[in-house]
Structure 1
Amino acid sequence: MQGNDQPAATTPGPGIGRYRWRVCAMLLAATTISYIDRQVLGVLAPFLQTKMGWSELDYSSIVTAFQAAYAIGLLGAGAVIDRFGTRIGYALSIGVWSLAAMSHALATGVLGFAAARFALGLGEAGNFPAAIKTVAEWFPQRERALATGIFNSGSNIGAIVAPLLVPVIAAYWGWQAAFLFTGVLSASWVTAWLLRYRAPDRQPRLGAAERAWIGTQPPGPSVRVPWLHLLRHRQAWAFAAAKFLTDPIWWFFLFWLPKFLHAEYGLDLLQLGPPLIAIFLCADAGSIAGGWLAGRLIRRGWSHARARKGAMLACALAVVPVMFAAKAGNLWLAVALVGLATAGHQGWSANVFTLASDMFPRHAVASVVGIGGFAGAVGGMLISTVVGLLLELTGSYTPVFLLAGSAYLVALLAVHLLVPQLQPARLDDPQPFPEGNP
């Protein structure tokens, strides 16, 4: 069965049930915790850079350590989750990152922080492959972009919660306590996941009507599709290209925005909260709106390919004005431009993630997401190094914002050229790039 399998029912009647949305809520919680863990360092960066005496390149190296581990982890995370299933695979992933988050409290210098970030990256590499595979198992195709947008909004919620809580925790109990707090959150989620989650074909709380709407099929966790086989297909390259070109922009927003606001507008640790919260509230809205837009266009009669790429184009255009953020000259104008860009990115991301389940069968989805995540992490490593060097040499954020504003349109062009109709991959075809010749 290909990734575009259709549900047995055609419309979700009023009595169909909503258990699948409870599962989506658990994915939302996991992604939120993941981004709280990631954002703690970003929020504390101006403070820690002064306290520890880091240079711009030192901070860049610490950020790159996370992204390198994230890339390495994605080499195997998707395959492990496809092999063992989302219940066990997700629990292992979050267990590792829970311990890694708490280990930051023991760091005393660049090497210690880099080691802790490396371990965190290895654990968090499993989050998106597991979440996307869960969505593919629990939702029919027409609902996947919305479900993905909802759980992916956790990346923004986490980025909102972090500047609310981290400065307060650091002020009262020290910066180490902020890292310990996030580790406890992760461990709590693992316990709830293992106690409550089962695959849809094994979930006794799932009603017959909702099961029919989902079109539940056994996910076949024993089937593993090697990366080399997946990379024969242009669909995998399209997904990887979209991630490689646009994930680095989100990494920049996540890890460098507090430093940008501190450097350009003199904001201290406690003053960073309101601008960051406003920016990531915009991102949260964009994540859900991007998924909703694709579903709305499908309901209006658009083809899946046209609706998906139409939503991606709208999101890409929303990012373009961020080119002017470095020259805004006013804090809240800069916040508005960056907020619009983060909204565009998250709407884009909801649709890009859904491409994997649109074009690949369920048993290969986590591996495909792993390939894309690896490409995105490699791109993130590159941009971290470039940003560190640019700031060390010039102190200017202008070139990076120019890159951010153009990346999404370039990525959409790459997707269109590779898979103009978003054709499902035929994994049993031994020929490279057999489908969808323009």
Structure 2
Amino acid sequence: MQSSPRSTGSERASPAVAAPTYEVAASPMSRYRWRVCAMLLAATTISYIDRQVLGVLAPFLQEKIGWNELQYSSIVTAFQAAYALGLLCAGAVIDRFGTRIGYALAIGIWSLAAMSHALATGVLSFAAARFALGLGESGNFPAAIKAVAEWFPQRERAFAAGIFNSGSNIGAIVAPIMAPLVAARWGWQAAFLCTGALSATWLVVWLLTYRTPDQQPKLSTAERAHIGSEPVVSGARVPWSQLLRHRQAWVVAAAKFITDPIWWFFLFWLPKFLHAQYGLSLLELGPPLITVFLLADVGSIAGGWLAGRLLRRGWSINRARKGAMLLCALLVVPIVFAAKADNVWLAVALIGLATAGHQGWSANVYTLASDLFPRRAVASVVGVGGFAGAVGGMLISTVIGLLLQLTSSYVPVFMLAGGAYLVALAVVHGLAPSLEPVHLDVQTKPQGE
């Protein structure tokens, strides 16, 4: 973390309450932190457009190039393997170099990787492009969560995380609108080139505008005080070997390992399910997919809002976080009936309810990292969790490929999805009954000193 700016004499004067009260009253509260949140939302949206384009085009590409189910699962697994490997070091790189440079490195890699899909001609070349994309995109969530920890006090973090995490749904909405239209007009290669250009544009804006709160001159005194209402932790980055000694790190890892694979299934197999089960063409996939991920978007923001609302009502962090997670887990349960739905829109409703539950769950799981660990360790903890989720995704991709190749049935997958979140919540509660935060051997100082 970078050092805070020098304080004036009035800021250090005693009593400490008088000067800040006068300065806050004299300086209207700015909203620059929400501009930062908008940037994180845009990056997450682009990230999910990049990864979702393949899922949307998969039924078409499978017929054109001749993949079978196992070959498609191997392409998906290549992305997840790289994503897992990238998360081994992404959080550490971001904690070491800071959010601005770390995020820029990640999105630069994935921008080039997204465009490289246009050169792919078969299973191996698609797998190579997906592998590179996974390496780059592994930095998105560690960087975004660290930015939230830098720019928001604890009571606002779940809501901010819910907002930027909703970009995963927006991206999944934009992709089925954009990809078929671009592919139909200019060819499937153009769809991948367009998404790469979006991420390259974001990179330029990010480097020109992003600074940490202590270096951002556009902040008002009131907003700076609001952001700095919690202590800033000083010291070097915490290595994974030290983090994994704490049960709280395994809380985040277990929650991600059990539930992230369900989201991977939605992203990469939902278009194939709708095509196989209901005979939807490439252009007909748009409305059902848009509906599913619009519901997911609502769930992402509502899940973060609910936890924050419960905290403002006086609930403890433990009770509020787990209460919100329980509600989200229950929303996923009805998906067990989706594979046997009589019509496409009943299936869409059940799946959309589940994606809403997942995204509300996910917003709270990400916030667990900043609930349980000091700011300087947050990106590394999110990296641990993301690695666990990617490993779980690799396993589920292989299992789904084998199941579909042998049985052509989605019933077991939907049954697995329906119970995963309740199991994950039980594991979280077992590992951390009270969500007691980790107190690392570091010094703290009030922001502004």
TM category, shorter: over 0.9
Post-superposition offset of 1:299: 1.2
Aligned with residue 251 of structure 1, among 260, 264, 267: 264
- Unmatched 5+ stretches in structure 1: 2-7, 430-438
Indicate yes or no: 2:94 matched with 1:81.
yes
Report the equivalent of 1:357: 370
Query: What code does the residue aligned with 1:235 have?
Result: Q
> Contact 2:372/2:436 (CA < 8 Å) preserved in 1?
yes
Post-superposition offset of 1:304: 1.1
SS of 1:48 mapped into structure 2: helix
Indicate yes or no: 2:231 matched with 1:225.
no
Query: What code does the residue aligned with 1:248 have?
Result: P
Query: What code does the residue aligned with 2:80 have?
Result: Q
> Contact 1:312/1:347 (CA < 8 Å) preserved in 2?
yes
Mapped to 2, the partners of 1:388 and 1:222 lie a distance apart of: 46
Indicate yes or no: 2:161 matched with 1:148.
yes
Change (3 A) 1:61 1:221: farther
> Contact 1:137/1:216 (CA < 8 Å) preserved in 2?
no
CA RMSD in angstroms comes to 1.8
Q: Deviations over 1:125-179 (max 9, x none)?
A: 0000000000001000010000000000000000000000100000000000000
Indicate yes or no: 2:279 matched with 1:266.
yes
> Contact 1:137/1:219 (CA < 8 Å) preserved in 2?
no
Q: TM-score, normalising length from structure 1?
A: 0.94
Query: What code does the residue aligned with 2:417 have?
Result: A
Post-superposition offset of 1:246: 0.3
Q: Deviations over 1:179-212 (max 9, x none)?
A: 0000000000000000000011110111110111
Aligned with residue 84 of structure 2, among 71, 79, 103: 71
> Contact 1:360/1:424 (CA < 8 Å) preserved in 2?
yes
- Unmatched 5+ stretches in structure 2: 2-16, 443-449
Query: What code does the residue aligned with 1:186 have?
Result: S
Post-superposition offset of 1:427: 2.3
Larger Rg: 2
Query: What code does the residue aligned with 1:264 have?
Result: Q
> Contact 2:237/2:377 (CA < 8 Å) preserved in 1?
yes
Indicate yes or no: 2:343 matched with 1:330.
yes
Aligned with residue 50 of structure 1, among 63, 68, 73: 63
Q: Deviations over 1:373-421 (max 9, x none)?
A: 0000000000000000000000000000000010000000111011111
Percent pairwise identity = 79
| Mapping for residues 183-222 of structure 1, pairs under 5 Å | 183-215=196-228
| Mapping for residues 16-415 of structure 1, pairs under 5 Å | 16-215=29-228, 223-415=236-428
Mapped to 2, the partners of 1:85 and 1:67 lie a distance apart of: 25
SS of 1:108 mapped into structure 2: coil
Mapped to 1, the partners of 2:355 and 2:232 lie a distance apart of: 33
SS of 2:85 mapped into structure 1: helix
Q: TM-score, normalising length from structure 2?
A: 0.92
Post-superposition offset of 1:218: 9.2
Aligned residues: 422
SS of 2:388 mapped into structure 1: helix
Mapped to 2, the partners of 1:17 and 1:51 lie a distance apart of: 53
Mapped to 2, the partners of 1:297 and 1:330 lie a distance apart of: 38
Change (3 A) 1:349 1:270: same
Mapped to 1, the partners of 2:331 and 2:230 lie a distance apart of: 37
Post-superposition offset of 1:104: 0.2
Mapped to 2, the partners of 1:367 and 1:352 lie a distance apart of: 14
Report the equivalent of 2:7: none
Query: What code does the residue aligned with 2:128 have?
Result: A
Mapped to 2, the partners of 1:302 and 1:155 lie a distance apart of: 29
